[in-house]
Amino acid sequence: MKAALLALLSLLAAGCTSWSPEQATAATDNHLCTAFNAQAGGGAVSPVLAAEVKKRGLVRPEMMGAALSRTVVIGMTASEAACAWGPPSEVLNTVTATGESQQWVYRSYLGAGVGSAFRFLYVEAGVVTAVQN
C-alpha cells in the first residue's frame, strides 16, 4: 500500500511538470492546486501551471512566494492554502451561534512504530485564521 502511494505521488509530481495550456485550462481548481503543491515541493512549478493558477486567482501575487515555499500564513484564502499545503486529509465543519468555520486536518504518516504527525488550518469565510503545526 505504501509503495503504491509513493509511486502514485511520484507519477503525479513527474506527470504534471509538462502541462500543456489545454490541460491547464481543462483542469479543475483542486487538480491545479494539487499539482502546484507537488511541483513546489520539487522546487519548480511549470510556467503553464503557474500562469493558470494566477489567471484563475487561486493564488494572489502577494501570496505566491509563500505558496511556492509551501508555507501557509494567516490571511491566505482557502485556495491559496490548498495550493501551499495540498488538499487536507479531512475537513471538520463547526457551526456556532456566530457563524461557521472549518478545521482542515493534515495527517502525515511517519512510519511503522512512529505513528502520525498532524497539522491544522482553521478557515472562516474562506480565509485562514489560524495555523497549528
Predicted confidence (pLDDT) per residue in 42-64, tens digit: 878 899 999 999 999 999 999 99
Whether 110 has a pLDDT exceeding 80, the answer reads no
Whether 3 has a pLDDT exceeding 80, the answer reads no
- Three-state secondary structure of 61-112: HHHHHHHHCCCCCCCCEHHHHHHHHCCCCEEEEEEECCEEEEEEEEEEEEEC
Whether 1 has a pLDDT exceeding 60, the answer reads no
Residues of the domain holding 55:
2-132
Number of compact structural domains in the chain? 1
pLDDT per residue as tens digits for the range 60-97? 999 999 999 999 999 999 999 999 999 999 999 999 99
Mean pLDDT of the chain: 86
pLDDT per residue as tens digits for the range 96-106? 998 999 999 99
